[in-house]
């Protein structure tokens, strides 16, 4: 287990013993199929007239009591913050998995695997057992390779595992088709990620992982299953190695390919040993990880920011040199700053508001936190107000059913807001309503417009389901609260610095796609993000800011609010330091937070970095002819990668562009 390029590790052991040996935050994707405990519900052999009785038992191991509660905490412990957890389960365990995992993750959901050829019913007195459930959960910023709306349904369909894929000896009653496992692995992990299956069975997850160039750790206690899994996984691994060899060599020498594969398997074979070897394996894996990514902290960014680099860390971290001090002239949301370990940090941004947020976090400013908590409470109060006033939904239904017309609807909304003025203002509280307040006006306007728009859509398409109807009216109420804070932000000159920063923070979290755009008269004008933001609360983000990890990180941080060149000349990074650069891109969309970055600025930056900077530096930037020309110099290395934007605002961003990773080392 000394080879850092390991691909597979399978163990014949009790996975309860193995999982305890796996370090915290080390697994990218747990995909597993634990016992369902359905055997106890079996009726035994079913007698068939004139035929051999049909075996209706599952397996002896399914009779052993399986408790999801005993596994949940260990799954959470070993999973990386970016990881995903998918568990095949049945009706009798689904609720138990939900109860012990849902509150530990940001999101829990389920998938359905529909079997197109389920076992027939002998006695036609019920449904066919044609569906299995997969309980899924993850945290924000998890790995997710979204393909398309059409392909991302939480519904998979395939035949049950049939010959020749299905093994006859040993026969595993729950063997899953590799095709559906590959679909999950493709969505929820990346190349070289570690996939873990503590209930490996005959190794189907391992086969899928090998075929998709992932790494795999599998555990199985039954020797017959384990031997079958080992053979299948080795075959899949060998086939993938041959495929790689053929791609890299135009002339295919089959003997040489076989020798290469056997050499690799001779290393892999040592991974199928005992638990002491497994401990050593993880020690070696940690050493390898630290030598290659010794700078990674795993901390998420501070705030969502245009052009944030969290998704690009997979390119940035492996290409980062050794260094002592870290410098970032365009810190933005802090994806790279928070992800790196350094002796000292020097971070800078020209946005005064962003730097104010960093300083409030660094100083643990309790007044800033108090105001954010008050605004977070207003978000919850908006929900209470909505539920306390079902008359809003009832009157919309009257309008939908044409029992009242649009003029009567407008009159109802006006009278409702006037008669509920105190309740509406109580949503944001006396302290916030004492400032410039447009909540009453926005509440009336948003409720009326939302109801009219909903009716228009229903007339064009179909009636909204009840849940969607409720979500839309709640959105109107929360949009009014958002618009009140947006208006206050646009008239903030006489407000305290903490309140100004809190408003900036709130809008950054609830503005559509986290965008910051200003009108010609200088006012922030991005609308509320909509239904998807209704359930978003700020308490978790505040908890992160107040955590020991963030406090420790900021202890060594020096925060600046300067032009990038003034910052670099003042801090003067040396040969032992590292500078990461994420400047605004060379495009029309190169103005963030009212700070323009012109081509003259791009030239000034390139001149300083190429001719004057003594430190090692890396830049991530969109590829344009102008930018490429600036850095196409001797001693400067330029590599490319593709990045897909989640939002294309006003068609000013190409959905897919080539990016440059530029270094002077």
Last residue of one domain, picked from the residues 220, 253, 287: 287
Q: What is the pLDDT of residue 52?
A: 53
Q: Are residues 75 and 157 in the same domain?
A: yes
Per residue in 621-636, pLDDT tens?
A: 999 999 999 999 999 9
| 64 found inside a domain | yes
Q: Is the pLDDT of residue 302 over 70?
A: yes
At 245, the pLDDT band (50, 70, 90 cuts) reads: low
Q: Lowest mean pLDDT: which of 544-553, 637-646, 648-657?
A: 648-657
Checking if the pLDDT of 397 tops 60, the result is: yes
pLDDT at 44: 52
Query: Could you tell me the pLDDT band of residue 344, with boundaries at 50, 70 and 90?
Result: very high
Q: Tell me which of 251, 272, 287 is where a domain ends.
A: 287
pTM for this predicted structure: 0.59
Tell whether 386 and 527 lie within a shared domain: yes
pLDDT category of residue 104 using cuts at 50, 70 and 90: confident
Confidence of residue 118 (pLDDT cuts 50, 70, 90): confident
What percent of the chain shows pLDDT beyond 90? 55
* pLDDT(43) > 60: no
pLDDT for residue 280 is more than 70: no
Rounded (10°) angle between helices 69-78 and 91-101 = 50
Residue 198's pLDDT is what? 94
Whether 472 maps to a domain, the answer reads: yes
298 domain-assigned: no
For residue 377, give its domain range.
366-540
At 243 the pLDDT is 73
At 486, is the pLDDT very low, low, confident or very high (cuts 50, 70, 90)? very high
- Mean pLDDT, range 191-212, rounded to an integer: 94
Cα separations in angstroms, 428 against 319, 386, 477: 47, 14, 12
pLDDT-derived band at 270, boundaries 50, 70, 90: very low
> Residue 393: what pLDDT?
96
226-240 tens-digit pLDDT: 988 998 998 888 888
Q: pLDDT digit string (tens) for 9-42? A: 899 888 888 898 898 889 999 999 988 775 554 4
Per-residue pLDDT, averaged over 499-527, amounts to: 90
pLDDT in tens, 424-471: 999 999 999 999 999 999 999 999 999 999 999 999 988 889 999 999
Residue 456 lies in a domain: yes
Q: Are residues 59 and 206 in the same domain?
A: yes
**Backbone region of residue 73 per phi and psi (left: phi > 0; alpha: psi in -120 to 50; beta: other values):** alpha
Residue 293, domain member (yes or no): no
496 and 559 fall within a common domain: no
Task: Based on the fold, state whether residues 157 and 187 are members of the same structural domain.
Answer: yes
Q: Average pLDDT of 563-579?
A: 97
Distance in angstroms (rounded) separating the CA atoms of residues 262 and 295: 35
Rounded to 5 degrees, φ, ψ at 640 are -125, 155
Please indicate, yes or no, if residue 126 is contained in any of the structural domains. yes
Residues 522 and 563 in one domain: no
Residues 152 and 37 in one domain: yes
Q: Could you give the CA distance from residue 227 to residue 250 in angstroms, rounded to a whole number?
A: 35
Are 187 and 69 in the same domain? Answer: yes
What pLDDT was estimated at residue 261?
A: 42
Q: What is the mean pLDDT of the chain?
A: 84
450 and 484 fall within a common domain: yes
In a domain, 300, yes or no: no
Contacts of 149 (CB under 8 A, 6+ apart): none
pLDDT score recorded for residue 100: 86
Shared-domain flag, residues 175 and 272:
yes
Say what the pLDDT of residue 306 is. Answer: 78
Domain count, the chain: 3
Percentage of the chain lying above the pLDDT 70 cut? 83
User: Does the structure show a pLDDT above 80 at 222?
Assistant: yes
pLDDT-derived band at 45, boundaries 50, 70, 90:
low
Instruction: Check whether residue 520 and residue 563 sit in a common domain.
Output: no
Q: Is the same domain home to 399 and 453?
A: yes
Indicate whether 193 belongs to any domain: yes
Say if residue 170 is preceded by a cis peptide, omega within 30 of 0. yes
Of 494, 519, 540, the one marking the end of a domain is 540
SS3 content of the chain, % helix, strand, coil (to 5): 45, 15, 35
- Residue 126's domain is classified under what CATH number? 3.40.50.150
Axis crossing angle, helix 439-460 with helix 391-400, rounded to the nearest 10: 40
Greater confidence (642 vs 377) lies with 377
């Amino acid at each position: 287990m000394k080879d850092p390029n390991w691909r597979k590790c399978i163990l014949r052991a009790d996975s309860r013993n193995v999982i305890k040996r796996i370090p915290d935050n080390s697994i990218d994707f747990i995909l597993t199929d634990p016992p369902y405990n359905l055997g106890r519900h079996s009726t035994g052999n079913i007698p068939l007239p004139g035929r051999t009785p049909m075996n209706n038992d599952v397996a002896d191991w399914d009779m052993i009591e399986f408790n999801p509660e005993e596994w949940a905490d260990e799954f959470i412990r070993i999973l990386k913050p970016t990881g995903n957890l998918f568990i095949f389960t049945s009706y009798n365990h689904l609720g138990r998995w939900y109860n012990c995992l849902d509150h530990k993750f940001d999101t829990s959901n389920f998938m359905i695997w529909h079997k197109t050829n389920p076992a027939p019913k002998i006695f036609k007195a019920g449904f066919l057992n044609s569906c299995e459930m997969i309980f899924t959960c993850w945290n924000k910023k998890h790995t997710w390779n979204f393909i398309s709306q059409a392909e991302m349904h939480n519904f998979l369909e395939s035949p049950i595992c049939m010959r020749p894929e299905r093994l006859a000896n040993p026969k595993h009653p729950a063997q899953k088709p590799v095709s559906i496992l590959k679909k999950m692995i493709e969505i929820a992990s990346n190349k070289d990620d570690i996939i873990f299956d503590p209930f490996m069975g005959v190794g189907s997850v391992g086969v899928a992982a090998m075929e998709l160039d992932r790494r795999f750790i599998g555990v199985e206690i039954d020797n017959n299953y384990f031997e079958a899994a080992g053979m299948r996984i080795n075959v899949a691994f060998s086939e993938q190695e041959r495929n790689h060899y053929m791609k890299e060599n135009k002339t295919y020498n089959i003997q040489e390919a076989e020798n290469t594969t056997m050499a690799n398997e001779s290393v892999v074979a040592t991974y199928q040993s005992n638990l002491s070897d497994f401990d050593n394996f993880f020690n070696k894996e940690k050493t390898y990880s630290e030598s290659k990514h010794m700078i990674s902290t795993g901390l998420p960014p501070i705030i969502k920011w245009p052009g944030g680099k969290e998704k690009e860390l997979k390119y940035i971290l492996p290409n980062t040199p050794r260094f002592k001090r870290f410098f970032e002239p365009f810190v933005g949301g802090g994806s790279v700053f928070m992800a790196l370990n350094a002796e000292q940090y020097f971070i800078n941004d020209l946005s005064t508001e962003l730097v104010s947020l960093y300083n409030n976090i660094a100083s643990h400013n309790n007044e800033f936190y108090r105001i954010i908590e008050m605004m977070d409470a207003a978000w919850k109060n908006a929900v209470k107000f909505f539920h306390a006033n079902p008359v809003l939904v009832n009157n919309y239904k009257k309008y939908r059913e044409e029992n009242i017309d649009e003029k009567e609807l407008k009159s109802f909304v006006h009278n409702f807001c006037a008669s509920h003025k105190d309740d509406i203002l109580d949503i944001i509280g006396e302290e916030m309503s004492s400032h410039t307040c447009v909540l009453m006006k926005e509440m009336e306007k948003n409720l009326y417009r939302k109801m009219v728009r909903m009716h228009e859509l229903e007339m064009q398409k179909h009636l909204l389901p009840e849940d969607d109807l409720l979500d839309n009216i709640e959105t109107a109420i929360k949009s009014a609260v958002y618009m009140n804070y947006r208006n206050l932000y646009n008239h903030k000159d006489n407000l305290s610095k903490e309140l100004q920063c809190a408003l900036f923070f709130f809008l950054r979290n609830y503005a559509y796609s986290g965008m910051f755009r200003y009108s010609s008269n200088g006012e922030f004008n991005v609308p509320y993000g909509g239904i998807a933001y209704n359930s978003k609360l700020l308490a978790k983000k505040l908890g992160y800011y107040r955590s020991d990890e963030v406090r420790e990180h900021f202890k060594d941080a020096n925060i600046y609010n300067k032009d990038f060149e003034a910052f670099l000349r003042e801090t003067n990074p040396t040969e032992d330091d590292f500078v990461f650069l994420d400047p605004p891109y060379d495009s029309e969309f190169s103005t963030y937070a009212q700070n323009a970055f012109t081509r003259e600025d791009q030239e000034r930056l390139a001149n300083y970095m190429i001719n004057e900077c003594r430190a090692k530096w890396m830049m991530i930037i969109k590829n344009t002819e102008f930018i490429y020309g600036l850095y196409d110099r001797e001693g400067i290395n330029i590599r490319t990668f593709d990045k897909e934007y989640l939002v294309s605002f006003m068609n000013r961003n190409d959905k897919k562009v080539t990016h440059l990773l530029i270094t002077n080392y």
